[in-house]
Structure 1
Amino acid sequence: MARPRKFDEVEVVQQAMSLFAQNGFNATSIDELVEATGLLRGSLYKAFGSKLNIFLIGFEECAAAFDVDNERHLDLLTVALRDLTLSDDSTKEICQKILANHSDSLALNLGKNLLQRMEK
Structure 2
Amino acid sequence: MVEAAADLFARRAYDGVSVDDLVAHLGVHRNSLYKVFGSKRGLYLAALRWHLEHRLRPLLARVRAAPDPAGALRDLATSPDRGADLDLLLLAMAERAPVDPEAAHEVAGALRDLDAAVAPGPHATAGAGGAARDPAYAPTATVLGLRLCLRAAAGSGGAPFDPLPPTRD
- TM-score normalised per structure 2: 0.59
1:32 CA drift (Å) = 0.7
The secondary structure found in structure 2 opposite 1:39 is coil
Match of 2:144 in 1: 110
Query: Of 80, 95, 104, which aligns to 1:83?
Result: 95
Give the Cα–Cα distance (whole angstroms) in 2 for the partners of residues 38 and 102 of structure 1.
Answer: 33
Supply the distance in 2 between the matched residues of 1:37 and 1:101 (Cα, whole angstroms). Answer: 30
1:60 positional shift:
1.3
The partner residue of 2:110 within 98, 101, 106 is: 98
- CA-atom RMSD in angstroms: 1.6
Letter in 2 for 1:30: V
> CA-to-partner distance for each residue in 1:47-90, whole Å, 9 max, x for gaps?
11111111111211222242353423310011101110111001
CA distance in 1, matches of 2:39, 2:14: 12
List per-residue Cα deviations over 1:12-58 (Å, max 9, x = no partner). 11111111111111111111101011111111111111111111112
Tell me the matched-pair count.
109
Percent sequence identity over matched residues?
29
CA distance in 2, matches of 1:20, 1:101: 21
Partner residue, 1:42: 31
Rounded to whole Å, the distance in 2 between the matches of 1:56 and 1:71 is 21
What does residue 56 of structure 1 align with? 45
**Where has structure 1 moved over 3 Å in runs of 4 or more?**
none
Which has the higher relative contact order, 1 or 2, with Cα contacts under 8 A spaced 6 or more apart?
1
Q: Compare the two structures and name the one with the higher strand fraction.
A: 2
Q: Which has the larger radius of gyration?
A: 2
* TM-score after normalising by structure 1: 0.81
Greater alpha carbon shift after TM alignment, 71-80 vs 23-32: 71-80
Which ranges of structure 2 fall in alignment gaps of 5 or more residues?
60-72, 77-81, 119-138, 156-169
- Give the AA of the match of 2:24: E
Checking the alignment, whether the CA contact within 8 Å between 2:4 and 2:26 is kept in structure 1 is: yes
